[in-house]
Every structure is written in C-alpha cells, then in structure tokens.
Chains A and B, each alone.
Chain A
Amino acid sequence: NAGVTQTPKFQVLKTGQSMTLQCAQDMNHNSMYWYRQDPGMGLRLIYYSASEGTTDKGEVPNGYNVSRLNKREFSLRLESAAPSQTSVYFCASSFGQGLRSNQPQHFGDGTRLSIL
C-alpha cells in the first residue's frame, strides 16, 4: 500500500545545479500537486496537474518546471538551483476532476532539499 512515493528523500545541491524530484502514486488519482514547506509559511502550491496531460502554475512557480509523465508520475525540476529553493518539497495526489469533489489529498513523505 505505497500511496504517494517521493524520491529522493534528501539532497544537497550547489547553486546553479539542476535536479528533478520524482513523485509516483498508485491510487489511480487524476490530480497531482507539488508543494514546498518553509518554516512559518505552511505549505505553498508550486504547480499542479488536474489530469494527465495538463499542468498549471500554483502560488510560487518561479524557478520550477513540472512534467506529468503519465497518470501515475509527476516530476518537479529545478533547472538552476538557488539557495532560496532550500525547502522541504511534498508531492500530493487526489481523485480530482470534480467527479468526487472535496476528496482529500494524499501526501508523500517529502524531499528535504538544501542548496548551498
């Protein structure tokens, strides 16, 4: 019963390096989300994908790109990492598509990313 799986769990990068965070869900959910969690700021939405083949910007998209590879997988890419992107990143999924609205999101365990 894996749910939402994120890899890696920890990563340290140097400023300017690139990296892709991976996320996969096995619940047949339509919608997937990427958040960042910073002290005192709660979780902020970076990008989301309402369904396979679509992606949209959230609250803090600058410096990130995403790919909805298929229904299961939704990756987050940092093209040129900056110290301001040091954070804990969470992927989430939900049934979505308005068919069962108000369904909860299911979260992965997070990726702790440090940019030096």
Chain B
Amino acid sequence: GDSVTQMEGPVTLSEEAFLTINCTYTATGYPSLFWYVQYPGEGLQLLLKATKADDKGSNKGFEATYRKETTSFHLEKGSVQVSDSAVYFCALTISNFGNEKLTFGTGTRLTIIP
C-alpha cells in the first residue's frame, strides 16, 4: 500500500538556521504530494503541494521538489523563524474520482529557538 516516511523529530534549530525535513514515499501510480503544518492547538493547514514529477511547491519561504527518481519530497527553508515552530506532516494522495484519501507521515515537530 501507499506510505509516507518522514524524518523523525523533534528537530530544534536556532533562528535563521537552514531547515530540511526529509520525506520519502511509496505509492502505486502517480501521487500528488503535500506538506501540511499544524500550529499548537489548531488543525492542519496546507503549506505547499506538487502534483507531478519535478514540480516545486513553495509558500512562506518553504520549498519542496517532487523527485520521482528518488521518491522524495523534502521540505526546505533557508532561514527559519520562531513563528515556524509547529508540527509538519508530509502526505500523498492518489486521486480516484471522489476518493482523495490522504496518507500521512507521522509528523516532525520543529522548535525554533531565538
């Protein structure tokens, strides 16, 4: 079945450090890939997405590139801020005409210290 493996946390970085959170996937067919973010006490919000190989999703300074050859979708940001502290989830979906079920990774908790 489909699965997502992401970097185990927690991850603690200093403000302005470079961030990478690794994500690899296994899927039958051609998935779309997503990064969701969950701030404390809130639901998940879409951060960025990519729907086909070599697509780059970007938002709020975060980027991730859909690499079919390595089945990866690593999340990066050049200079993190305290406000980026949250849990990040990598996810995939294979659209099946009304069944757009998401398969999530286990989440990576990120803490940025000033």
Contacts and interface: CB of A to CB of B under 8 A. Distances in A.
A110 B42 CA distance: 7
A30 B44 contact: no
Contacts of B99: 31, 48, 50, 56, 96
Interface residues on A, range: 20 to 34
Interface in B25-60: 32, 34, 36, 41-46, 49, 51
Interface stretch (B13-21, B68-76, B78-86, B101-109): B101-109
Given A42-B89, A90-B43, A104 B97 contact: no
Nearest to B102: A105
Which one of A42, A44, A48, A96 has the highest number of Cβ atoms from chain B below 10 Å of its Cβ?
A: A42
Nearest to A91: B43
Given A104-B49, A108-B43, A45 B105 contact: no
Tell me the interface secondary structure of chain A in the complex: loop
Given A4-B43, A109-B43, A42 B105 contact: yes
A42 to B, nearest CB: 4
A26 B3 CA distance: 31
29 contacts: A33-B101, A33-B102, A41-B106, A43-B89, A44-B104, A45-B102, A48-B99, A50-B98, A92-B43, A92-B44, A92-B102, A94-B100, A96-B99, A96-B100, A98-B95, A98-B96, A98-B98, A101-B32, A101-B95, A102-B49, A102-B93, A102-B95, A102-B100, A104-B46, A104-B49, A105-B46, A105-B102, A107-B44, A110-B43
